[in-house]
A and B are shown apart, each in its own frame.
Chain A
Amino acid sequence: MSAIEPTSATDPAAVSPRVPSDTFFWLALSILGGVYVLLIVAMLLAQASFTSPGHVLAALDSPAIRYAIKLSLLSCSLTTILSLWVAVPIGYLMARWDDGAIRRFLERKAAAIENGTRRWYARPLRILCIPIRLANPKLWLDAILDIPIVLPPLVIGLALLILFQTPLARWFESEIMVVTFAIPSVVLAQFTVACAFAVRTMRTTFEQINPREESVALTLGCSRAQAFWLVVLPEARRGLLTAATLAWARSLGEFGPILVFSGATRMRTEVLPTSVYLELSIGNIEAAVAVSLLMVFAAVAVLILLRHYGGEWALGKVVRP
């Protein structure tokens, strides 16, 4: 802490205001933030201290849990690939969709109605104009894409289950592939939620890439597709990595939709969160904790791995001239 000296003692008007030390400010922020970090670390430590390497090894020895690990790894990876496959086009379309013309058109219509009268019903008219302004399809699409994020997980599971009771889905199941209460349902349940996060990430990524680079690529002889492959996608690689990480981590932890849509059958649709649930339900807390720890390790490992490579890959990126 240092006292602040006035810069010019001779001219009273030039005396700087006395500013209190910033220490309190930084301290307050650090304490508020630190509480949360502490909670996370304490939680993990408590869990780790509850179990022993013996328990973890015993859990790893159980065929059911080994099956769950395999299914989790497989389904999460599949979900990640599927999510990216969908999130890249949606993210790009949403980022490059210029709805300015529609917005201005709707605004003009609404303003024309609002300004048409000064009578007593001018105010209620203004409320009636709200739906006109909301008629922008981009707003709606945006909201739809966020539904899997805001819906309770169990509800998503239930909705998927009901979807597969419809005639078309039943035909699909009888003719092409059994989904419900089988492995494909695990992937579909994970995909429904994880993809929404990947879409958000990819959209932000594409929004941050200067669209003028594509414009220049077009003048240099590229088609739209070439400009996308040669210019946009290489710049989006960090976003792709983040989206993949997010999708993978989300699907690893997915439980609600899987419980409803896939069931919790041992050696069949059992993923790691299902194992935790099943072990807990028969009172085998040690095994539940051991499996939880495995998941923590897997998640942390993936995060570190991808962040590390993400950092390296990102070196060539951004900081525009």
Chain B
Amino acid sequence: MIALEHLSIVSGTFALERVDLLVPTGRYAVLMGKTGSGKTTLLEAICGLRRVTAGRIRLLARDVTGLKPAERDLGYVPQDRALFQTMTVWENLAFALRVRRWNKDRIAERVEELAALLGLTDLLLRRPHRLSGGEAQRVALGRALSFQPRVLLLDEPLAALDQETRIEMHTLLQTVRERTGVTTLHVTHDLEDTRRLADLVFQVRDGRIEETKI
């Protein structure tokens, strides 16, 4: 479950005031809104990367408002993917597991599993600058899912992908959802993504969030 309760965020020139949002466990929610409406800011606040001025954030019934990003146990895919440039795909996927001091065999097993799920098996030794947009996106998704978080936050994951790759990614995201049951909040301004993926649709407008029909 992802729950925002009367959440206020001030960021530079704009503010989100007392917004509420509820994504029940296991559901796939899409958050829509114009560029600059504060969607990314909201995701960053949920991740713990941005301070909130008021309100509470609860993930799976746990109040995480005051917790560090590392303690929130969520997977985050930022818009620019931000893959670790000096690491191979394998190392990107294994990063969170190494930080968590998993043993080597378990890490290798998990990376293999992720690579199979996301179609990255042949790319494991590549570095990010040699990946296509769709491949990089799959690595970013795999990195976010690697430590099996219960919550997944996606910031415009399909922007800047060509139509064919986009459709592949739709299928992939559906598969991920079926296999992992991860509660997802997906930020986009694309109607097609919304139609294909969403159980629930929210709209950011003038500093507030409303649930809408597709």
Chain A interface (Cβ within 8 Å of chain B)? Answer: 100-101, 104, 210, 212-213, 215-223, 226, 230-231, 234-235, 237, 316-321
Would you give the 0/1 interface string for B178-201, flagging 1 where the beta carbon is closer than 8 Å to chain A?
A: 000000000000000000000000
- A318 surroundings in chain B (CB, below 8 A): 85, 129
- Which one of B20-28, B41-49, B115-123 is at the A interface? B41-49
- A213 surroundings in chain B (CB, below 8 A): 82-85
Please determine whether A215 and B143 come into contact, CB atoms closer than 8 angstroms: no
- B95 surroundings in chain A (CB, below 8 A): 217, 220, 230
Give complex CA distance A201, B32 in Å. 41
> 12 A-B residue contacts at CB 8 Å?
A210-B80, A212-B82, A213-B84, A215-B69, A220-B99, A221-B70, A221-B147, A231-B84, A234-B86, A235-B85, A235-B86, A316-B127
- Which one of B71-79, B103-111, B166-174 is at the A interface? B71-79
Would you give the 0/1 interface string for B1-38, flagging 1 where the beta carbon is closer than 8 Å to chain A?
A: 00000000000110000000000000000000000000
Give complex CA distance A174, B81 in Å. 57
Q: Quick check: is B157 within 8 A (CB to CB) of the other chain?
A: no
Please determine whether A320 and B70 come into contact, CB atoms closer than 8 angstroms: no
In this complex, how many residues of chain B approach chain A with their Cβ under 8 Å: the count is 36
- B78 surroundings in chain A (CB, below 8 A): 212, 215-216
Give complex CA distance A217, B85 in Å. 12
Please determine whether B147 and A100 come into contact, CB atoms closer than 8 angstroms: no
Please determine whether B80 and A219 come into contact, CB atoms closer than 8 angstroms: no
- Between A100, A219, A221, the greatest number of chain B beta carbons within 10 A of the residue's beta carbon is seen for A219
Q: Quick check: is B131 within 8 A (CB to CB) of the other chain?
A: yes
Classify the secondary structure of A's interface with B. helix
- A223 surroundings in chain B (CB, below 8 A): 68, 70
Please judge, given known A-B contacts A100-B12, A104-B12, whether A226 and B85 are in contact too, CB under 8 Å. Answer: no
- B143 surroundings in chain A (CB, below 8 A): 216, 220
- A217 surroundings in chain B (CB, below 8 A): 84, 95
Please determine whether A221 and B100 come into contact, CB atoms closer than 8 angstroms: yes
- B124 surroundings in chain A (CB, below 8 A): none
Please determine whether B82 and A215 come into contact, CB atoms closer than 8 angstroms: yes
A316 in complex: contacting residue of B44, B85, B146, CB < 8 Å: B85
B70 in complex: contacting residue of A218, A230, A317, A319, CB < 8 Å: A218
Q: Quick check: is B133 within 8 A (CB to CB) of the other chain?
A: yes
What's the nearest-Cβ distance from chain A to residue B75, in Å? 7
B81 in complex: contacting residue of A104, A226, A230, A321, CB < 8 Å: A321
Please determine whether B68 and A218 come into contact, CB atoms closer than 8 angstroms: yes
Please determine whether A219 and B83 come into contact, CB atoms closer than 8 angstroms: no
Please name the residue on chain A nearest to B78 by beta carbon. A212
Please determine whether B69 and A219 come into contact, CB atoms closer than 8 angstroms: yes
Please determine whether A316 and B86 come into contact, CB atoms closer than 8 angstroms: yes
- A226 surroundings in chain B (CB, below 8 A): 99
What's the nearest-Cβ distance from chain A to residue B136, in Å? 4
Please determine whether B69 and A218 come into contact, CB atoms closer than 8 angstroms: yes
Please determine whether B82 and A219 come into contact, CB atoms closer than 8 angstroms: no
What's the nearest-Cβ distance from chain A to residue B8, in Å? 16
- Between B75, B85, B96, B127, the greatest number of chain A beta carbons within 10 A of the residue's beta carbon is seen for B85
Give complex CA distance A223, B70 in Å. 7
What's the nearest-Cβ distance from chain B to residue A139, in Å? 19
Please determine whether B86 and A222 come into contact, CB atoms closer than 8 angstroms: no
What's the nearest-Cβ distance from chain A to residue B51, in Å? 11
A320 in complex: contacting residue of B13, B72, B85, CB < 8 Å: B85
Please determine whether B70 and A215 come into contact, CB atoms closer than 8 angstroms: no
Give complex CA distance A165, B129 in Å. 55
What's the nearest-Cβ distance from chain B to residue A11, in Å? 35
Give complex CA distance A213, B87 in Å. 12
Q: Which 7 A-B pairs have the closest CB atoms?
A: A321-B136, A220-B96, A212-B82, A218-B69, A319-B129, A219-B76, A234-B86
Give complex CA distance A317, B95 in Å. 18
Please determine whether A321 and B128 come into contact, CB atoms closer than 8 angstroms: yes
Please determine whether B70 and A210 come into contact, CB atoms closer than 8 angstroms: no
What's the nearest-Cβ distance from chain B to residue A65, in Å? 43
What's the nearest-Cβ distance from chain B to residue A319, in Å? 4
Give complex CA distance A12, B47 in Å. 61
What's the nearest-Cβ distance from chain B to residue A318, in Å? 7
Residues from 147 to 181 in B contacting A, C-beta threshold 8 Å: 147
Please determine whether B72 and A219 come into contact, CB atoms closer than 8 angstroms: yes
Please name the residue on chain B nearest to A220 by beta carbon. B96
What's the nearest-Cβ distance from chain B to residue A228, in Å? 13
Please name the residue on chain B nearest to A100 by beta carbon. B12
What's the nearest-Cβ distance from chain B to residue A39, in Å? 38
- B48 surroundings in chain A (CB, below 8 A): 218-219
Give complex CA distance A226, B100 in Å. 12
Give complex CA distance A237, B136 in Å. 23
Give complex CA distance A67, B182 in Å. 69
Give complex CA distance A226, B146 in Å. 18
What's the nearest-Cβ distance from chain A to residue B42, in Å? 14
Please determine whether A212 and B80 come into contact, CB atoms closer than 8 angstroms: yes
